[in-house]
Amino acid sequence: MSENETLLKLEGITKRFPGVTANEKIDLELETGEIRCLLGENGAGKSTLMNIIYGLLQPDEGKILVKGKEVKFHSPRDAINHGIGMVHQHFMLIPTFNPVENVVIGKGGTRKIMPDIRGAEKKFVDLAKKYDMNLNPKTKIWQMSVGEQQRVEILKALYHGAEILILDEPTSVLTPKETEHLFKILRALKEEGCSIIFITHKLWEATTISDKITVLKQGKVIDTVETKSTDAKSLSWMLVGRKEIQKIEKKGGIEGERILEVDNVWARDDKGLDALKGISLEMNRGEILGLAGVAGNGQRELAEAISGLRPVTKGKIKLKGKEITRCNPRRIQKMGAAYIPEDRIHCGAGQNLTIKENLILKKYYREPFSRKGFLQFPKISNHCANLIDDYNVVCRGAETLGKQLSGGNLQKTILARELDAEPDFIIAEQPASGLDIGAGEFVQNQLIKSRNRGAGVLLISANLDEILLISDRVAVIFEGRIMGVMEADQVDIGIIGEWMLGSDGGKKNAEKETESLEEEKVQ
Amino acid sequence: MGVIDAAVVITILAAAVRIATPLIFVSLGEIITEKSGVLNLGVEGIMLMGAISGFYTAYTFDDLWLGMLAGVLVGIIFGAFHAYFCIFLRTDQTITGISLWILGLGLSSFIYRIAFSGYFVRPRISTFPRISFPILHEIPWIGPIFFNHNILVYLGFFAVPIVWWLINKTEFGLKIQAVGEHPKAADTFGINVQKIRFFSVVIGGAFAGAGGAFIPIGSLGSFVDNMTQGRGFIAIAIVIFSRWNPLFAVLGALLFGTMSAMGTRFQVMGIDIAHQALLALPYIATIAALVMFNLSKKGKRGGAPGSLAVPYEKE
């Protein structure tokens, strides 16, 4: 019977923020040794709910019961004391500390003047060994890989006696192999009697790891189902309210001239280390080249190097056959390039500028928007109203500030600005990340539209699904090098995965290609 | 320049150690404050307030220790003032700090004029007597330079390893670093970010008050308008130069002290350089040190706390 003991119970949890109800009358029951997936789109209220369980937010209504007793959490410390641990989406670790120091103060401290670092280190190392995690307790967090940091987070929770472990989109930053490792750890934890709440918006993860799945939508529980008795299709129906995720239609590729040539390009990152180590890429008009890879392998540096924001230390970049290696961003943009940066809040749009101002950022100085140094406001307003309509930006008018827009609408604004001039070449960096499915699809459709009219699109994304969905060719970047390029319709996920982890699957691929070429010849 | 012999060098370096002491106090405090993520540009003002209250108390009660205590207490009050504005009202830390400086500058002179109106001769106190360390002070060079000072100088240098220990080895120190690097993470740990920051700023204020009180009580024996001459700001430069490490802050303070002592000494010796240039020497050296430091700083973080001068607000 202990198997089915209810460990955590939520009754009618409601949380309102100004203007939205993030959680509405949520009920949830979690049993001992259960892995529960919380599935929902962005903004469905998953994170809010978890922050309530972890004591970071207090509910407006409703009750939380741990092991049958009602509890009130005023801070995470209370939650930790009741055996609740959380692994945040953006890791909550002090970057300048090593894991042990993080663990020691991870429960608000030990109330001793000098913490027992050595004892804690021993306990930490033992715990890491138990779950087969290879971690050096002396390495500082900022020097660790994302996967390692996540393991530190898990250990931190376990160290403080977590029986309920909440993971907020834990796989969004991991490579496929690291994800596998994480799943192994979670299963081992389950064996130990730990209950796990796993937040995700990826269907296959939910069906792979969980015992039960709870689907959230717009702050409400749609349903809770046994994983065994459901499938991806019915889940996705619950999730988005339509039959299945639409496959975006693409016209047959346009054979086009060469639009971009990147030849052995080197560049440094913000720390002054080489981030690009001899990148070479070629792109034609009318194609989408998907650049896959785990975040932080030089994608941002490449995008900035091409758009003129980052100095290139070696190598050449040509746009439409003309060298742009040392051109400034405005020059490059005038030659017909558009850039949709990953960081849409700090880099893509002005937060304190209105939509109108954001929309004309790249052409305010040109006719007809500016004449003899004076802005032509009626023309600008007209133009902006049209764009807001065309790109379906939901807002309270053109005077809305950038910071008042939701992520999706901000991204639509940026798209409108970048794509309106019908650029010949577009760099889109993680264009759909953090957006809900609807807004994400809109973004992807816009990119395909641009491709269909003959533009070259360089799509940089850490989301392999997205890349496979809309790319014509797929390239993989790892530690500043291109590991290989494949035609999208002949993609071998295994090899892509290996490339993303830096192992030399390239040889295998070369063999495969020659094989397939030979096969074609035979045929 | 044949006039510069060993005796002169020793005199200059011994003076450097004395001049460095208030800078050590203030920069130690500022390191604690900044490690917690709060920038206190107002230490110059706190120093002046510490100087006037220390001097006034010592003069009135004829007790130097009571004077130091008064300086520290006033430092705590002004530190709490800065902390309240920056942490709880989330005001701009730069502007609040500068206001604090200007407040201290005006208020200290104002208090001096009220307390000592009608004096024809500038009121003086006798400073702490020199204590020669037995045996140690007989070591050639080292002895006269380091071991022939008053008790406050020894206290200042003694505080350096203590503060280093506090920041790096104690739980309170870990918490200070945590709230200065990543306050949100610290919050999820269950650490009260605002409380830790408040105490850090208050401790920093206490150190600044002590540094200010040192100047009349441990060195000059009287109060003069704006007697800190920008040393609060020099201390902030030293903090950057030291990469927020108390052990390196000593070096920065000694560098400034040496330049300052050289300037004064050369004037006395009648060396033919414009005295304005000599007075400017320590400040020029500070700027040069900062520039060189920042040029040589290769990559990485440079040691600044990740959330320095960023107010923390729960969502």
Q: How does residue A462 score in pLDDT terms, banded at 50, 70 and 90? A: confident
Cβ distance B178 to A105 less than 8 Å, yes or no, reads yes
Looking at this protein, which amino acid is placed at residue A270? D
Rounded mean pLDDT, B161-186: 95
Residue B21 or residue A205, greater confidence: B21
**Closest partner residue to B174 among A88, A104, A273, by Cβ?**
A104
Cβ distance B171 to A104 less than 8 Å, yes or no, reads yes
Q: Which of A400, A420, A440 is the last residue of a domain?
A: A420
CA distance B150 to chain A (A): 31
Cβ distance A76 to B174 less than 8 Å, yes or no, reads no
Burial (CB count <10 Å: 0-12, 13-18, 19+), residue A434: middle
Contact A342, A301 (CB under 8 A): no
Looking at this protein, which amino acid is placed at residue A286? G
Residue A65 and residue A169 in one domain: yes
A265 in reach of chain B (CB within 8 A): no
Residue A324 and residue A409 in one domain: no
Cβ distance A273 to B300 less than 8 Å, yes or no, reads no
Contacts of B306 in chain A (CB under 8 A): 95-96
Contacts of A161 in chain B (CB under 8 A): none
Lowest mean pLDDT among A227-241, A386-400, B93-107: A227-241
- Return the structure tokens found at A274: 């080489």
- 3-state DSSP of A293-358: CCCCCCHHHHHHHHCCCCCEEEEEEEECCEECCCCCHHHHHHCCEEEECCCHHHHHCCCCCEHHHH
Residue A284 and residue A295 in one domain: yes
User: Would you say residue A60 has pLDDT above 70?
Assistant: yes
User: Would you say residue B156 has pLDDT above 50?
Assistant: yes
A272 in reach of chain B (CB within 8 A): yes
Quote the pLDDT of residue A16: 85
CA distance A49 to chain B (A): 14
Burial (CB count <10 Å: 0-12, 13-18, 19+), residue B140: exposed
Interface test with A, best of B182, B184, B189 (most A CBs within 10 A): B189
Residues counted in chain B? 315
- DSSP string covering B167-193: HHHSHHHHHHHHHHH-HHHHHHTT--H
Q: How does residue B309 score in pLDDT terms, banded at 50, 70 and 90? A: confident
Q: How does residue A441 score in pLDDT terms, banded at 50, 70 and 90? A: confident
Quote the pLDDT of residue A12: 93
A74 in reach of chain B (CB within 8 A): no
Q: How many domains does chain A have?
A: 3
Q: How many CB atoms lie within 10 A of CB A200?
A: 22
Cβ distance A96 to B191 less than 8 Å, yes or no, reads no
Domains in chain B, CATH or no CATH each: 7-117+151-296 (1.10.3470)
Strand-strand pairing, A195-200 and A35-39? parallel
Percent above pLDDT 90 for chain B = 68
pLDDT tens column, B236-273: 999 988 889 999 999 999 999 999 898 888 888 877 88
What backbone phi and psi angles, to 5 degrees, belong to B49?
Answer: -65, -40
Residue A356 and residue A283 in one domain: no
N-terminal to C-terminal alpha carbon distance within chain A: 63
Rounded mean pLDDT, A157-180: 87
Residue A390 and residue A502 in one domain: no
Residue A66 and residue A127 in one domain: yes
Q: Mark residue A154 as left, alpha or beta (left: phi above 0; alpha: psi -120 to 50; beta: remaining).
A: alpha
Contact A323, A316 (CB under 8 A): yes
Q: Which residues span the domain enclosing A164?
A: 2-240
Rounded mean pLDDT, A175-200: 90
Residue A270 and residue A296 in one domain: yes
Cβ distance A108 to B181 less than 8 Å, yes or no, reads no
**Closest partner residue to A109 among B169, B191, B301, by Cβ?**
B191
Rounded mean pLDDT, A226-249: 65
Quote the pLDDT of residue A240: 54
| Report for A284-298, A406-420, A468-482, B44-58: range of highest mean pLDDT | B44-58
Interface test with A, best of B164, B188, B192 (most A CBs within 10 A): B188
Quote the pLDDT of residue B300: 46
Cβ distance A95 to B306 less than 8 Å, yes or no, reads yes
Quote the pLDDT of residue A239: 66
- DSSP string covering B98-136: HHHHHHHHHHHHHHHHHHTTT-SS----PPPPEEEPTTG
Q: Which of A369, A400, A420 is the last residue of a domain?
A: A420
What backbone phi and psi angles, to 5 degrees, belong to A252?
Answer: -55, 145
Q: Which of A420, A443, A467 is the last residue of a domain?
A: A420
Burial (CB count <10 Å: 0-12, 13-18, 19+), residue A97: buried
CA distance A300 to chain B (A): 18
Closest chain A residue to the Cα of B182, Cα to Cα:
A94
Residue A281 and residue A377 in one domain: no
- Return the structure tokens found at A88: 């945040």
Distance CA A159, CA B5 (A): 63
3-class DSSP assignment, residue B226: coil
Residue A434 and residue A379 in one domain: no
Distance CA B255, CA B286 (A): 8
- Residue A248 DSSP one-character state: P
- Return the structure tokens found at A9: 């119970």
Residue A402 and residue A435 in one domain: no
Interface test with B, best of A56, A86, A98, A105 (most B CBs within 10 A): A105
Closest chain B residue to the Cα of A109, Cα to Cα:
B171
Contacts of A93 in chain B (CB under 8 A): 182, 185
User: Would you say residue A491 has pLDDT above 50?
Assistant: yes
Residue A304 and residue A434 in one domain: yes
Rounded mean pLDDT, A447-462: 90
Cβ distance A104 to B181 less than 8 Å, yes or no, reads no
Residue A397 and residue A415 in one domain: yes
Where b means 16+ CB within 10 Å and e means fewer, B53-62 reads bbbbbbbeee
Q: How does residue A511 score in pLDDT terms, banded at 50, 70 and 90? A: very low
Contacts of B191 in chain A (CB under 8 A): 105, 108-109
- Residue A483 DSSP one-character state: E
Domain holding A473: CATH number? 3.40.50.300
pLDDT tens column, A78-128: 999 999 999 988 889 999 999 999 999 888 777 788 888 899 999 999 999
CA distance A129 to chain B (A): 24
ipTM confidence: 0.84
Distance CA A195, CA A38 (A): 13
